[in-house]
Amino acid sequence: MASTHYMDPERDNPELTEERRRANFDPEVLGDFFWQGQLKRRRQICEYVRSQGAELAPAQPVPFMTRMEQLEDVARLSVGMRKHAENVIDVGSPQEQFYFNSLICGYDGSPFHLHFIMALPAMINNCDDEQAAEWLPKLFNCEIIATYVQTEMGHGTNLKALETTATYDASREEFVFNSPTITSTKCANFGVVMAQLYTNGKCHGAHPFWVQLRDIDSHKPLPGITVGDIGPKFGIGSNDNGFLRFNNYRIPRRHMLMKHAKVLPSGEYVPPMHAKVGYTSMMYVRSVMIFGNAVYLAGAITIAIRYSCIRRQGEIRPGAGEVKVLDYQTQQYRLFPQLARVYAIAFSGIYIMDMYKSVIANINAGDTSLLSDLHSLGSGLKSVTSWQVSLGIEQCRMACGGHGYSEASGIPALYTMAVGGCTYEGENIVMLLQCARSLMKLAAELRSGVAIIENGTKSANPVTGYLYLANPPRKCRITQESGPDSYLEAFEHIARQRVFSAYDRLAQLRKRGRSAEEAWNEAGVALTKASKAHTINFMAKTFVERTKMMQDSAARADSFMSAQQAEYVRIKMYDSMQRIRPIALTVVDSFDFTDAELKSVLGRRDGNVYEHLLEWAKQSPINANDVLPFHEKYLGSFMKEVRNEREMSKI
């Protein structure tokens, strides 16, 4: 069943050909399943980009560029990308847009990244009809580049405490902006700016505004605006995150985005139908992030498994020769759970993207009832998946040994980008606490009996339904023959236990006289654990539903699960590892990454790693000469000096 798409037996490392021939399924089917029916489209787009040659390809690998060179190259590439976009992608499809963007500009960010992923959706969701007619065409055709401005030097996740203010001046029908923020600032000339809205001396909380930052022609910052780059970061070098400061900067009244809340010329404030309806662009990004996280991990596991199929080290049977490192149980234990996670996270990502779409449709129809469900699930998933993926990528990197530490592996850049997702769009711990808010509300209703009445419909809720269960099993029913459903019971048990134990801790603290807020803080750790377990339970359920096959790591033992049952799970896991081993390479092939996408010498489709590692290294400016240009100036003359000293002292 091996797909010939991935095979070139004449040229490939024979280790990989041998592995691919063992596959008992068609990777094209699995790949199309993972990419939700888009495999062929992706290949068309990919082939188009490849066929354009240098115009749409990086000038050299990113690790060899300075940051300035990287920014310049991505500016060049992103213009090329926009010019070709209409020839090949459906520009109305965010999915194709993102794929096209990452194919050409990589994952490290581009001038259009925040433009498309944050500013444009924010504008779509927050402009009224007149505003949309005026501004959206300019965003779609990219004659302006917009950014999203919210994080401040002194404030990140806590939107309530934003220091940027937009004070309405009714006499001139303008808003006056003040204070510091951090955002993309070198390439963008407009921004969707979140600011505390003040009218008639009263604060109405954070609202979105459409603000011009730079001159259309000269691109110079406008008077009243200070901008700059925030400097080098852990990763995403070509994302020009910057700082931005307003000093009595004025914009017209109609530049407040007025789909939901409004300010009338008089300064009268018209509130939105739901307080958080202006925050949907954050929810959008979090929804998009989940599947994106799965893709990052899919990249890393593709590299690690391919490399583990060609890397030989050590013997299992003495004298039988060195084995492929993927044959070690310890290597499988390190890598195969990551493979399972890719799917678990991807499926949750698909689920929440669908949920986002229906919530927005509902809002447009005047129904905001599911907004907080979306917020809660998105917060939990964003937090759990970004951290699982980060840990998973590091395991993939370390599983490649010393070569994994080289930028040639492509994994360091994947890690620094993915782990950024633990912080941006809402710091992970804060997000878990957000998720816990709705869980504690529900737990209170369930404990008081209020929610039970609605049991009929609510227990069917795929996210929170398990909490409604009147008589959950008190003992784990896992046997040697158990399938995924009893495993799910264990996930539900843990989640239920953590949710109610956090609730009980809160209640206990209240009884001891703590205020609601103090109790919330002192139960903080328990609350984050509840949210994590709740989210992982959702992911496990979604995973089983989509695959009816379960291979994630075993749940922890406690009095619910006996040691014997834990052993069943363990045996099953080792069995799964043995079943996955022969097909592992073909499973990762099915993610269908091209070498240009993976940017990894270790993860080359053809497995010809060692010869290309040296080729790669030769591109380093350090290797331009046998001797470093400054050698004589420092170390060379120093060594001679001390040698002479020693020789003189002997005389």
Binding residue numbers:
151
Please give the full DSSP string across 10-64, using - where no structure is assigned. TTS-HHHHHHHHT--S-HHHHHHHHTTT-HHHHHHHHHHHHHTGGGGS-SS-GGG
Phi and psi torsions of 114, nearest 5°: -65, -30
> Which is nearer to its own copies, 192 or 258 (by Cβ)?
192
Phi, psi dihedrals of residue 626, rounded to the nearest 5° = -65, -35
- Residue 180 buriedness (CB in 10 A; 0-12 / 13-18 / 19+): middle
Paired residues of 210 in beta bridges = 192
Determine contact, residues 123/133, Cβ cutoff 8 Å.
no
Closest approach of its own copies to the CB of residue 345, in Å = 19
DSSP 3-state of 180? strand
Residues 547-576 touching its own copies, rule: CB under 8 A, are 556-559, 563, 574
Number of residues that bind its own copies (CB under 8 A): 134
Name which of residues 523 to 542 contact its own copies (CB under 8 A): 523-525, 528
Give dist(CA 128, CA 125) in Å, integer: 9
Q: Does 639 bind its own copies (CB under 8 A)?
A: yes
Nearer to its own copies, 42 or 306 (CB): 306
Beta carbon nearer to its own copies, 33 or 328: 328
Nearer to its own copies, 182 or 298 (CB): 182
* Cα–Cα distance, 37 to 95 (Å, whole number): 12
Of 402, 449, 456, 513, the one binding its own copies by CB under 8 A:
402
500 forms part of the interface with its own copies (CB under 8 A): no
The nearest distance, CB 291 to its own copies, in angstroms, is 22
**Cα→Cα distances 156→96, 161, 272, 419, Å:** 30, 9, 24, 17
Closest of 427, 419, 466 to residue 443, by C-alpha: 466
**By C-beta, is 127 or 414 nearer to its own copies?**
414
Closer Cβ to its own copies, 416 or 547, answer by number: 416
123: its two tokens: 């504008």
240 binds its own copies (CB under 8 A): yes
Beta-ladder partners of 425: none
* Window 262-321: residues binding its own copies (CB under 8 A): 311-318
* Residue 460 within binding range of its own copies, rule CB under 8 A: no
Binding residues for FAD, as ranges, are 151
Distance, in Å, from the CA atom of 374 to the CA atom of 272, rounded to the nearest integer, reads 18
Question: Would you name the residues annotated as active-site residues?
Answer: 425
Measured from the CB of residue 153, what is the shortest distance to its own copies in angstroms? 6
Site track 108-147 with its own copies (rule: CB under 8 A), x = hit: ---x-------------------------xx--xxxxx--
Q: Which residues have a Cβ under 8 Å from the Cβ of 146 and sit 6 or more positions away?
A: 114, 115, 119, 120, 123, 139, 188, 189, 190, 191, 192
Q: Quick check: 462 binds its own copies (CB under 8 A)?
A: no
Per-residue binder mask for its own copies (CB under 8 A), 158-177, x = binder: x-xx----------------
Query: Which of 407, 492, 589, 592 touches its own copies by CB under 8 A?
Result: 407
Q: Where are the alpha helices (DSSP H) in 106-167?
A: 113-114, 120-126, 129-140
Q: Which stretch binds its own copies (CB under 8 A): 258-266, 400-408, 439-447, 459-467?
A: 400-408
Binding to its own copies in span 189-218, by CB under 8 A: 189, 216-218
Stretch that binds its own copies, among 119-127, 355-363, 465-473, 610-618 (CB under 8 A): 610-618
The footprint of its own copies on residues 323-382 (CB under 8 A) is 327-331, 333-334
